[in-house]
Structure 1
Amino acid sequence: MASLEPMKITGYTDEDFQNKFSGDPYAFMINPDTIKMQKSIEYNEQQAPATSSASQKYKSTPSDKLTFEMVIDCTGVVDSKRIDMNKEITALETIIYTYNGKIHRPNFVKIQWGQNITFNGVLESIDVSYTLFKPDGSPLRAKISLSFSQYISPKTVTMQDAPESPDLTHIVTVSEGMSLPQLCLQTWNDDSLYIQVAEFNGLNKFRNLNGISKLIFPPVNTAN
């Protein structure tokens, strides 16, 4: 009979999850009974004139959330070699919570369980409740509530958001001979937005862009 594979948390020192934090991943003593994955979408409510109810305009998609509870049992019943509660808590916190001076922030973390659960994120909160003690007050068992927020690097977010979207800010290199309408067509597939770009950059010319190397293409209102 195959042994039960433990959930593991691995620390990383880069936002692309390529460079592992020194030391071994933290392996759970007891796997969670329940894992909660939360996805959400945020909207701005807008009510048009002469309408009876508001419509919802897309605002953003927040990061996915992963929450669960884990148990650390240092009675020796679960694992006779892991009976030091302070050592267990320190090992866990070093990976997910403690400030890492080399990267000037806590580690990025990857939570893995089997082949189907892999979550790249950062810790949002950790709550520790001690539930069993030795006669001298030393804790033997702890219930830990963990909440993680998915982390995606800014580079990946830009790729996923489709850079041609007029809802995003772009820095556009001006090619020789290109007019502002042509640049709008190239960037957004819409040459009618050049007036808004010109106003944002303080331009009084649309055709001859000589002497200009880069322009900021701000989020624009496609209805105008």
Structure 2
Amino acid sequence: MISGLLGIIDKMRIEVFPTKDYVEPPKKTIFVQFNPEKYSLRHNVDFCDSQALGTSGTDLRFNRIEGEEVNFEFLFDSSGVVPPGKIKDGKGEESLMDKLADIGNALMPAVVNPFAEVQTVEKEVEEFKNLLMGYDGETHQTSYLKLLWGGYTLTCRLKSMEIDYSLFRKDGRPIRARVKCVFKGTVDYKVMVAKENKSSPDLTHQRTLKMNDKLTLLAEDIYQNNAYYIDVAKNNKLLSFRQIDTGKKINFPPIK
């Protein structure tokens, strides 16, 4: 509330994780120098195209819903007019004093030494790139990311990065860059299965038999049909569908 009364703008941050669990605190947190002016979302449904010989139409069969894609453009400027972005260890949430210090630095008149050379922006861009898409020799992966800005949150990985440099020093070194990033949403497999709660008869299911479980009722519950329990018994090489040991794992294959 105090931040809002003082007109303090929350900076977008990117949390960098080494693994897909997102359980432990991030190893780094990036606070961008400028909040993006906009972002765009893309949602894709993937279909399997099938067309019978001699026909003019195409039967689109659902395959999957792809992860969300989001495009952000980040601005880097090393002219000294605006305070640089920050990279902190761990979660690294900014305190109110940090935000007030940033406002104070931004309001102070920029004093330019005509004899001093302006810093190049290359170092900040390279560090940003390495955190988002650098290869980790221990995990053999690029980083897992969490984007946080206002009410928007996305667990994702960087899909692509395009860097445009502009405003150059006398020696040709850049002092401004626009970094266009495409992030692809990602969900841990266990979380995805729990969230989607798939119970389609077109998928393979596994059940562990509990006391008083009956194969006939389990098959009917999964396939919505009481005619498949014999096929399930054959698939699991059961001598009898009536006498099955408690704790045995039974596979229910998809209907072909």
TM-score, normalised to structure 1's length? 0.80
Q: Deviations over 1:32-52 (max 9, x none)?
A: 222011112122355799x98
Structure 1 residues 81 and 193: alpha-carbon distance in aligned structure 2, compared to 1, 3 A threshold: closer
Partner residue of 1:137 out of 169, 172, 179: 172
Q: Confirm whether residue 192 of structure 1 aligns to residue 227 of structure 2.
A: yes
Q: Give yes or no for contact 2:33–2:85 (8 Å, CA) kept in 1.
A: no
Q: Give yes or no for contact 2:158–2:184 (8 Å, CA) kept in 1.
A: yes
1:76-155 alignment to 2 at 5 Å? 76-79=80-83, 83-114=119-150, 116-155=151-190
The match for 2:99 is none
Q: Identity rate of aligned residues, in percent?
A: 26
Residue 189 of structure 1 deviates from its aligned partner by 4.9
Residue 169 of structure 1 deviates from its aligned partner by 2.4
The match for 1:34 is 38
The match for 1:58 is 62
Structure 1 residues 66 and 47: alpha-carbon distance in aligned structure 2, compared to 1, 3 A threshold: same
SS in 2 for 1:58: strand
Structure 1 residues 208 and 129: alpha-carbon distance in aligned structure 2, compared to 1, 3 A threshold: same
Q: Confirm whether residue 71 of structure 1 aligns to residue 66 of structure 2.
A: no
Q: Confirm whether residue 172 of structure 1 aligns to residue 172 of structure 2.
A: no
**Separation in structure 2 between the aligned mates of residue 177 and residue 141 of structure 1, nearest angstrom:** 70
Q: Deviations over 1:53-112 (max 9, x none)?
A: 445332211101011211111111222798552331233123311123443312211111
**How many residue pairs align between the two structures?**
219
**Separation in structure 1 between the aligned mates of residue 222 and residue 158 of structure 2, nearest angstrom:** 37
Structure 1 residues 98 and 45: alpha-carbon distance in aligned structure 2, compared to 1, 3 A threshold: closer
Residue 199 of structure 1 deviates from its aligned partner by 5.4
Residue 142 of structure 1 deviates from its aligned partner by 1.1
Q: Deviations over 1:186-222 (max 9, x none)?
A: 545543333553454455754444599323323324x
Structure 1 residues 44 and 17: alpha-carbon distance in aligned structure 2, compared to 1, 3 A threshold: same
Residue range with higher mean Cα deviation, 57-66 or 102-111: 102-111
SS in 1 for 2:227: helix
Q: Give yes or no for contact 1:13–1:20 (8 Å, CA) kept in 2.
A: no
TM-score, normalised to structure 2's length? 0.71
The match for 1:218 is 253
Q: Give yes or no for contact 1:6–1:28 (8 Å, CA) kept in 2.
A: yes
Partner residue of 1:16 out of 3, 16, 21: 21
Letter in 2 for 1:64: E
Structure 1 residues 78 and 159: alpha-carbon distance in aligned structure 2, compared to 1, 3 A threshold: same
Q: Which runs of 5+ in 1 are unaligned?
A: none
**RMSD (Å) for aligned C-alpha atoms:** 3.2
Max Rg structure: 2
Residue 157 of structure 1 deviates from its aligned partner by 0.9
**Separation in structure 2 between the aligned mates of residue 195 and residue 75 of structure 1, nearest angstrom:** 75
SS in 1 for 2:228: helix
Q: Give yes or no for contact 2:204–2:253 (8 Å, CA) kept in 1.
A: yes
Letter in 2 for 1:107: S
